[in-house]
Structure 1
Amino acid sequence: MVWAQIVVVAVTAPLVVALVHGALRRDRVLPREATATILLAAGTVAVVDPGGTSTTWNGLVNAITLSAAAVLLATFPDGRFVPRWTLWPVALAVAVQMGNVASGFRWDDQSAWWPWHILVTWLVLLLGGQVYRYVRRSGVDERERTRWAVLGFLAQITLFVVMTAVLVGLTGTPDGALGSSLAMILNLLGPTGLAVGLLAPRIVPVDRALHVGIQVSVVGLGVTGCVVLTTALLPEGGNGRATSWAAAAVVALVTLPLAWCGAKVAHRVVYGGRPDPLTTLAALGQLLDRSLDPRAVPVTVLRTLCDSLGLEGARLSGDQVFAAEHGELPRVAGRFGIRFRGEELATFEVAPRPGETTLTEHDRRVVDALARQAGAALDGTRAITELVAARSRVVTAREEERRRLRRDLHDDLVPTLAGLGLDAAAITELLRGRDDAIARVAATLAQGIRDSTRQIREIAYDLRPPVLDDHGLVAAVRDRVASTSGAPRIVIDAPEERIVLSAALESAALRIVQEAVMNVRRHAAAEVCRIRISLERTTLHVTVADDGRGLPVPRREGLGLRSIRERVYELGGSLVIAGAPGQGTSIAVQLPYREAPERAEPRKSGGG
């Protein structure tokens, strides 16, 4: 008994001093004073009357403890009555305890109503108010403090149950000297949890501690209950060895299922159904495996983060390649750097959950783990984006060079050759009848020049359709696609005025429309094919939709769709193919638009 008293004093004395010191600084005065009172009462009982022989003394201590506990339940952890009406059950609880003391503790014997006032005041009103506070009003800091109290009382209840079962099994009673000493120490666990929550809530990560505590409690209480039930069901006076073997068998059978259930319960209670870091990383890995467009990686990472933790929103800032945002970001609760091979690629800016202002330690661990995993993915995204940009520059330069060559051939070389052809024809006429041999040579030269002129025109046409340079993309679509007779009927929805685009963008858009319409004619059996072309800020939108038979299931891409996809990705655009059997098909293309370089007005020549 003495060793237990020493332990109690060693624990309660520094905690009471720290709590009173904080209360004197007017920091959370009510919960600190109430907790100090409970600890002081426990320590005083352990030292003055450990055996509980004085009825008056014990009654007075109980009255003080219960009054302090009522105040604590209504004001923990921030010292405010939340909700405000909890002030009334606290006043009632204190008044009842004062009345009991004034009556000489005779109310303790009123079995008709005395237990009921405790049930209504404590469980329904005060404990209900604490649950309401935790769920609806508490922030991250208040919840961390409350979890310490829960952990303390959970450990106290679990150890009491296990200790009682063990002592009954060994000695037949839990009221011996050992049981009284252990009970004296265990009575401190709940108040100690309250004190830690008020004094140092982040001394260790409370989420991890509570997670482990719930798992251990589920297993401990479950195993103890199964052993007690097994022992009670066995016939009295039976073989003690058989009873031991039966209890051992029950323990072996239930431990693993209880451990699994305990992990599930702990995860649900502590993290509210939110995944741990490994689960979040696994979900991100699966999404990245399914992602076909590397440019979607930043948004995929942000969506995974927000969905996993229930955040209002998140943002990736840094290089323009990684710039992305998901959800709303009314305020930033934390910033986390994303590094890969020593280089900081970007920064996570994370909003808190609705109703909260900061992130928990668990949230920070999840974001840190996700940032480490996202580094490699974002680095890959940057590499692919740079490759696509370089390829787009090459394609753009190629198309601009083709346009220049076509213009030079058509506007310069063709007229020159046409003039030479006229000269050769004139020479033929002048020498006809004078020198027929030279006239025949001149006629052959004129024919050769005409053939060369026709071939150069064909080469120029193959390099780039002239209608693109002369009238633009919409006119080229009308000329090359809509002018064709037969089904389906082509409907073009596009601006009347010319859209000024780069050579690469015009050429790619025209060929995409041609490929899409050709697919409709070959496979869709459609009546109407609608082509929409629009320019919005920095994006050219091209959509080809039909009312035909739709896409087969499973979908197989032919050469036409693959060609469209390659042209889109060459310019860093995006492609969405949608459709279902019997519901038509839609091909939507978005191509990044850049200002077209200055171009010379097409020169009209008489020979062209």
Structure 2
Amino acid sequence: MSDLVAPAALPDPAPTPADGAPRTARAVVLAAWVLGISAIVVYALTTPRIGADSLFLFVDASVALVYGAVAGVLLTRRQHPVAWLLAVAAIGGGMAAFGGAYRGAEAVWGWPSLPWVVSWFSWAWVPGTIALFIVVPWLMRDRALGPWSRVGLALGVVTTLALTVQRMVFPMSDPRVLLGVVVVLGLITAAAVAWRAQHEPVVRDRVALGWLTLGVAVMALSFVPLLWYAIPPWTMAVLHLVCQVLFSGAILVVVLRQQLWGIDLAVSRALVAGILAVLLVGAYVVAVLGVQEAVGDTQTSQVAAAVVVVLAAPFLRQWAGRRVGSLVYGEALEPHRAVSAMGAGFASDDERALLDVLVAQLASSMRLQSVALTSGGATVASYGVPSSNVLELPVVHRGQEIGVLVVTAPPGEWLGARTVKAVEDLSDLLAAGLALTLALREADAARERLTNARLQERKVIRRELHDGLGPWLAGLRLGMQGVRNAVRPDPDLAESLLDSLSGELDQRIADVRTLSHSLLPPAIEQLGLAAALQELAARWEQTGMRVRLRCAPLPTLSAPVAAAAYAIVSESVTNATKHSGVDTCAVTVEVDHGVLRVECTDDGAGLAPGAREGVGLRAMAERASELGGEVVVGTHGTRGTRVSALIPLEPAGVTAGGVA
């Protein structure tokens, strides 16, 4: 299966004539690759023995192939000096490699003697290769150069031109003075890039500049063998090849991650891994040749070198493979590490910060630019700031989609199929965390609704006590004082006052009983919901409000369900009495597919246009919502009102059993 996954959305990569040079880019790639590949083929067919020159020829050919591709990518999108310098390095490396191979073709195949072509091997690589590490790093930025940076750039340009002229015009002269300057300037350039890396606010950009620092430093040190002849010259070739892994990759990473010069390009992670693997194989081959060159031509030494290489190869291959995989894929190759790290997030002391911990760990493990987790259209947790190449994955818990995971790769990357598969596997942990968080939030919401309902009931009780029972008790006290004053001078008046107070006391007793019944009538606990509703209808009948009750046979109901249904019926009848303008309403209670349906209708005045929801309607809605149900208020007939409530018989967190 291909390891390439195209991004969900990419900006149009087609450059404008003012920005890129696609034809020139193709010409550069073609020229560099033809020279590099031709050099390798010709040299392999004409040179029976591999020696020190072979290592340098292979390095020059790899420069042509690697930097030809990088220069082609950049030139297609932007004609920047860095892109042109990479093109010079690529074509110069190809010319040097072909010049080295041409000598063998002259001797073996009788090709025409062309000294100027053969001379390429000694000087053609100089301008591009030297400029790579003492000129290019100063230009790897999107803002203007500072004074010291301009000085460093000028010294790099002058030194590169001076060494090129010396190698072309005076090939037999001693270049060690200029090479010493090159090494010093290279180390100064590496220090400048390192300083930039230390002051870069974005972590990923610091890492990219860190790789560029290492590449510049290794490239500069690789020229030390040309200054100190005691060091075998083949070490320079090995270090140069290592630099092709570090330096070319670092340039692409810096350009694409920071989107320098407006270049917005995505490269597959699988492609990056493949290129690094090929370069590592090349480095391994050159290392083998270098060891053989170092130990001499004797058969014993050649056998000893082969044994060392064979023993070291498996360890080095595994080590390099793990490093490349970790650099490109993060922990996608070893998802158990990511699982362990994300699983530790469930041990957090703050459950409500769980999702933030999980998405941050996912982004870190998979080397993602950003991760966002959404549910119900709202973002519940996020990490990083997305730019482009958005990938959306469903978050499924127990067969139900509860959210969407939105991830983005760092600028300049596509997510390969391997990374996507790892993210999909890890999304199960996110699903568990999201389900837990949603349950906690629902519990918080239910607790808040319950608190509001209790507060509303307390307000009702307070109002009844303050506005009803309290003033009446004050009046009772005044009445008793009147009886006391009249008992001796006018016994008949005192007796009349006592009769009036007795009747008033009976009424207040009935009011208190009605209030207690509206909160939780004893009939619900003793006889069940149906009997309690019949008692409610009988009490309203005494006031002149006729309630036509139709209650189907009910199963055993939990106390919360029965109490909520009773409260909704009681409030609905009260509203019909106050606002409908009629003296009759109908109440229906039945069970339908595991849901208790309660309905109260009247043929009265209906809902007034623009009427605001009152306290009673909100209380009914909150009671139903606490149990996972709902209340709907609408029109009945031509102008009446319908209040319909649906309440699950087995709401979450409520045990069955209680009242019928």
TM-score exceeds 0.5: no
Using the size of structure 1 for normalisation, the TM-score is 0.44
Using the size of structure 2 for normalisation, the TM-score is 0.41
